[in-house]
Chain A
């Protein structure tokens, strides 16, 4: 087993140029082609009519009794829970995690069972009550209130940059599928996808987004579960699959914790990186500050349901690796030559290629619809976030304040169009990575982790002063970028791109935290009055009626339950 991973997708200009010229080449043929029968196209058309129809209908439902109902004040926990997790399942999960399953093996489960679930439980038990009990409506707003406008601005700038880069990933995923479907060049596929998503965004609204996400969740399951079952069956069963892969790729490929000692060979990294870097910095960084997710929890009918939302979502999330990582691993056997460059399939194409190979018409239509729906919703969410932060947190707050509402709505429209256009460019960047999941984790280490550092320290440490937020984010981001650059220049060695993201995150967090401490000690602390509602322990206390709910519905019980489930899944994996 190579202990040094080939760096997938160098970020050099040369590689980007190559990617661009390949996309523009008229005779560029992807190794993947999806042949849909008429019935598949009909199914797709029906689904997307539902999507557009829901957006249309909900915007116009105005009966006053429905106002409460539709404004989200009565969305039950199961709806928000599924919406919550579905909002998270996009290109990264479906294409990226399976690409990583093929590239790195079973260790990818860490990204779920340790790299997501604990953070989701924390979000439900600790963060949701904090959000509810505080004045905070968004993370940038929190930074402005808790620290100062500098922190707010730097967060807004890095956030819009990050959003557009991530939107590009989703757009690229959409385009891969379209390209395979229609045999058109990648660039054209990207532009077509972008146009469709733009119309979807303009019809959007939070409740219709949640409705779409619930529908999409079930459609995705209907597509992915049979695919996984067949892929495993065709590889000779789980035992056979693991034996073959283990023999071929080494023990670390099939046993997630194997080789995770310091100096070991597991490509995903060592246990320190996994626990501190992935589970804490990257994962908590994502789940606690990603306001698209938090928003869905807040759409629940009451405080208790809001707390349960991420925890309910954690249950299906635990099972998602079974339908993404496993088929990715199976793809190594079923799609020989994948990921080896040349004219072969790329890792990102594993799932669509498996679908094409094994799913009959009808089911193929449903499965591909699920993929497209997920990518589209993902991109729409990214562009909407970009739009809102750009318009309000940057344009209104710092560039052209004090104009009437209508002005900003117009700016917002233009920002949406501009955002989509930029996403086309960042989609091309994403296309130069044969595994988009690696690329995304790198982005997270740059953008989410420093933000999380400022946020969590601000939340728990009263002494953190005005400028601490700004310096924490700035130094953290710079550190993350430096570590990445040093890795790419071969100055520091890591076992793989993923390993680098974990340690990059740890360094970013550490440096960010240190600078926050240094800055805070040289400044006056904020007064209690200023901190009211912004620091843990000083929230506007909202006495939740925890006692009124049965013990088996309590967030703590259910949270413990899902953590136990994860432990059991780890054991099960070893038992194969």
Chain B
């Protein structure tokens, strides 16, 4: 079964796909955290620094989180998610468990029976 990388899929120019990629959530979270904690670090009192073994931990961690956030976002744009259009991947190429129903066929938890009626149309046509 070939992977999406092997096939010329359409790199996502689709803003929704970029938005829902895990990297955008994680990147956004760390940018926000980074800003807040860096500010805390910049206004840290001596007592705070003493507590953390003499290191201005808030400042350091704040900056690290900012960098992490930026890296995730950068990565997202440098290597955008592949959108697989249904016609590019046939049902046969999927493992048994994912056919017809996609991920919802895999029981979320062991022992789940047949999935209830799908709310969205199946991916394959």
Contact = CB atoms under 8 A, between A and B. Distances in A.
Contacts of B29: 46-47, 50, 215, 219
A63 interface: yes
Interface stretch (A53-61, A262-270, A339-347): A53-61
B1 A230 contact: no
B6 to A, nearest CB: 7
A66 B16 contact: yes
Nearest to A393: B111
A181 interface: no
Contacts of A71: 102-104, 123
Given A68-B89, A138-B107, A360 B52 contact: yes
A295 B108 contact: yes
Contact of A222 (B36, B65, B104): B65
B102 A298 contact: no
Contacts of A443: none
A388 B107 contact: yes
Say which size band chain A's interface belongs to. Answer: 35 or more
Interface string B83-125: 1111001000011111000111111111111001101110100
Interface string B14-53: 1011001010011011101100110011001000110111
A139 B58 CA distance: 46
Given A360-B51, A548-B6, A292 B62 contact: no
Contact of A389 (B60, B61, B64, B109): B109
Contact of A67 (B55, B113, B116, B123): B123
Contact of B57 (A219, A305, A363): A363
Contacts of B58: 360-363
Contacts of B25: 50, 54, 211, 215
B111 A156 contact: yes
B30 A218 contact: yes
A557 interface: no
Q: What DSSP secondary structure best describes chain B's contact surface? A: helix
A542 B97 CA distance: 12
Contact of A137 (B16, B40, B84, B97): B97
Contact of A74 (B81, B95, B110): B81
B51 to A, nearest CB: 6
Given A46-B32, A57-B20, A215-B26, A141 B53 contact: no
Nearest to A63: B16
A292 B109 CA distance: 6
Contact of B110 (A69, A140, A230): A140
Given A298-B95, A392-B111, A218 B37 contact: no
A358 interface: yes
Contact of B3 (A215, A301, A361): A301
Interface majority SS on A: helix, strand, loop or mixed? helix
A230 B51 CA distance: 10
A230 B55 contact: yes
Interface in A32-60: 39, 42-43, 46-47, 50, 54, 57-58
Contacts of A215: 22, 25-26, 29
B34 to A, nearest CB: 10
A133 B95 CA distance: 7
Nearest to B32: A46
A434 B8 CA distance: 56
A141 B53 CA distance: 53
Contacts of B85: 65, 68
A159 B30 CA distance: 37
Contacts of B108: 204-206, 295, 384, 388
A66 B48 CA distance: 46
Given A73-B102, A207-B103, A138 B112 contact: yes
A62 interface: yes
Contacts of A139: 110
Contacts of B104: 71
B59 to A, nearest CB: 9
Given A47-B29, A291-B109, A405-B117, A230 B53 contact: yes
Contact of B68 (A63, A218, A304, A405): A218
Contacts of A337: none
B24 to A, nearest CB: 10
A397 to B, nearest CB: 8
Contacts of B83: 65-66, 68-69, 74
Interface of B: 1-4, 6, 14, 16-17, 20, 22, 25-26, 28-30, 32-33, 36-37, 40-41, 44, 48-49, 51-53, 55, 57-58, 60-62, 64-65, 68, 81-86, 89, 94-98, 102-113, 116-117, 119-121, 123
Given A73-B102, A303-B1, 10 more contacts: A57-B20, A62-B119, A68-B83, A73-B94, A74-B82, A141-B111, A215-B22, A233-B53, A299-B106, A391-B112
17 contacts: A42-B36, A46-B33, A50-B29, A63-B14, A68-B85, A68-B89, A72-B102, A137-B107, A205-B108, A206-B103, A207-B103, A222-B61, A230-B55, A359-B52, A388-B110, A393-B110, A542-B95
Interface of A: 39, 42-43, 46-47, 50, 54, 57-58, 61-74, 79, 131-135, 137-141, 156, 159, 204-207, 210-211, 214-215, 218-219, 222, 226, 230, 233-234, 291-292, 295, 298-299, 301-305, 357-363, 366, 381, 384-389, 391-393, 396, 405, 408-409, 540, 542, 544-545, 548
